Chains A and B, each alone.
Chain A
Amino acid sequence: MSSQLQALLSEPLLLGLIWSIFALGVFISFRILSIADMSVEGVFPFAAVLAIWALKAGWNPFLALLLAIGAGMAAGALNGVMGRYLKINPLLAGIILMTALFSLTVVVSNGNISLEDGATTLFTPFEDLFSGISSVYWKNFCGDLLLLALVTMVLFVFVYWFFGTEIGAAIRASGKNEQLARAEGLNVHVYILLGLAISSGLVACAGALYGMRQSFATINLGKGTLIIGLATIFLGEIALPKMSFKAHLLSILIGGYLYWLIMSALELLPNYNANYRYLIQALFITLVMLVPTFKKNVVGLFRKGKEVSHA
């Protein structure tokens, strides 16, 4: 298999997993809490930079990951405080937080932070498990896949279980119908805060994993990532129209892989001009969002046609 095809098939799988974790976080704020949370564009790079900083400072890689997740959860909680208790418009609160985190990211990284060659990351022990494989490419791929698959599985199972508990159901109720939630005795502020903390924690986890795998991170990492998360969710919803919460979660994983497969394939086309990437992405997302409407209308047309012909 040519290295080109190799990269095309396998890299999206790994990227898809990392970005599925990111998208899971966005899913919680966007679909469950009905909040358009821009702070993810600040949490993601900050987490990446923080994880690398911790590794350079000698932290155990797993603890570095926990540190980043903790920072993300704190950011999410702060987002909740601003939106619910300080009564700042949630969209604005997210933007304010994103800007603040941008500064923190610059402070920690000075714009660009990187790991030395051969530094131990969370991926290293997993890659070493496969040292029997002669091809460095496949050794790394299998190791990375194992770690990412494990982490993704743990997180997705956690989210599925958590939102089926009483607290989880309370968070879902608070996000979907605040008025009724209050009438059913729920302290909506607290539940939304908790939901945002979990959402940002997941985004931070994705950021830390991304930074560790790439072994460097710059302050530009967050730019345009919310759209990637949303595109992943929408793509997944088309591929697997949700029947249940479980299916909805699964669809995020599918969406993640599909998104990166499509974007990678696009880049390989001759004459691909990266300047048009954002335009292509915008068109892509719009098309993706139109599919449900399109399906309804087209299917409706077919049904009508059938009735007429049998009249």
Chain B
Amino acid sequence: MLDVKNLVKTFHLDGDSTSENDRKALKNVSLTIHDHDFIAVIGGNGSGKTTLLNIIAGSVKPDEGSLVLDGEDITKKPEWKRARFISRVFQDPLVGSIGDMTLEENLSLAARRGKSHGLRWYIGGEERKSYLAMLRPLGLNLENRLNQRMKSFSGGERQSITLLMASFGHPKLMLLDEHTAALDPKTAAKVMSLTATLVRENDVPTLMITHNMKDAIKYGNRLIMMKEGEIVYEAEGEKKAHLKIEDLIGLFEEVPE
């Protein structure tokens, strides 16, 4: 369970000093992510949703506020240390895996997320078998391509693999940063369906930023809307299930500045 308390973040566009060009990305954001939560986050550009995700992941430091994960304060923890508990899928399929390394090398990297790296060979026979078992159900015929470099895979395939990698090791939280935004609608739908399957099977709390309002309504048990650095609307369970897109668009316009 992640307790996000009173996050404030201002981006100083003119160096470190305060000026009119400062952008208040997060004004005062608090949020609790419970076990079994699958939260969809929507909002326009500049709403702060990406900053929120980056702060949770650790690639951006907040000016004020704290993050408490299962009772442990992780606000000061560097990104790479948090990765043990928090996994991530990026928007750009090319970033989510290493193009010059093979599929099995990427999987083996993810399998060791948060563990110590030693002089053992990067992949063993048993391990390979487990990867085959994991890849088969995806139905993408990836299990025959373990030795191919990632750059020979399509964008959709790479995102699916990144998603799979993010589900390794029972993370306490999975962050999805508009992970279907760069894909064509058909592939995006496939990846979303894979997402739902993985979240359900691994029972991992998930925070998903999306531009796609249909997906935001269809997937997840909670919905959060952000605008100009604040959470302006929340819906959960039944209420969320009955939302219509028109409602959301209306909310976008209705909420005062």
Contacts and interface: CB of A to CB of B under 8 A. Distances in A.
A touches B (Cβ under 8 A): yes
Contacts of A187: 78, 80
A165 B122 contact: yes
Contacts of B100: 172, 176
Say what secondary structure dominates the interface of chain B: loop
B59 interface: yes
B113 A184 contact: yes
A181 B100 CA distance: 13
B221 interface: no
A172 B120 contact: no
Interface residues of A, number: 21
Chain B interface extent, by class: 20 to 34
A169 B90 contact: no
B192 to A, nearest CB: 21
Contact of A166 (B98, B101, B110, B112): B112
Contact of A183 (B88, B99, B108, B120): B88
B249 interface: no
A184 B110 contact: yes
Given A173-B109, A176-B100, A186 B80 contact: yes
A159 to B, nearest CB: 14
Say what secondary structure dominates the interface of chain A: helix
Contacts of B113: 184-185
B24 interface: no
B118 interface: yes
Interface string A113-126: 00000000000000
Contacts of B114: 185
A185 B85 CA distance: 9
Interface string B63-93: 0000000000000001111011001101000
Given A169-B109, A180-B98, A164 B87 contact: no
A179 B57 CA distance: 12
Contacts of A180: 90, 95-98
A183 B83 contact: yes
A188 B83 CA distance: 13
Given A167-B119, A169-B109, A183-B88, A188 B80 contact: yes
Contact of A176 (B84, B96, B101, B121): B101
Interface of B: 57, 59, 78-81, 83-84, 87-88, 90, 95-101, 105, 108-110, 112-115, 117-122, 165
17 contacts: A169-B108, A170-B117, A172-B101, A173-B101, A173-B109, A176-B101, A180-B90, A180-B95, A180-B96, A180-B97, A183-B79, A183-B87, A184-B113, A185-B81, A185-B84, A185-B112, A186-B117
Interface of A: 164-170, 172-173, 176-177, 179-188
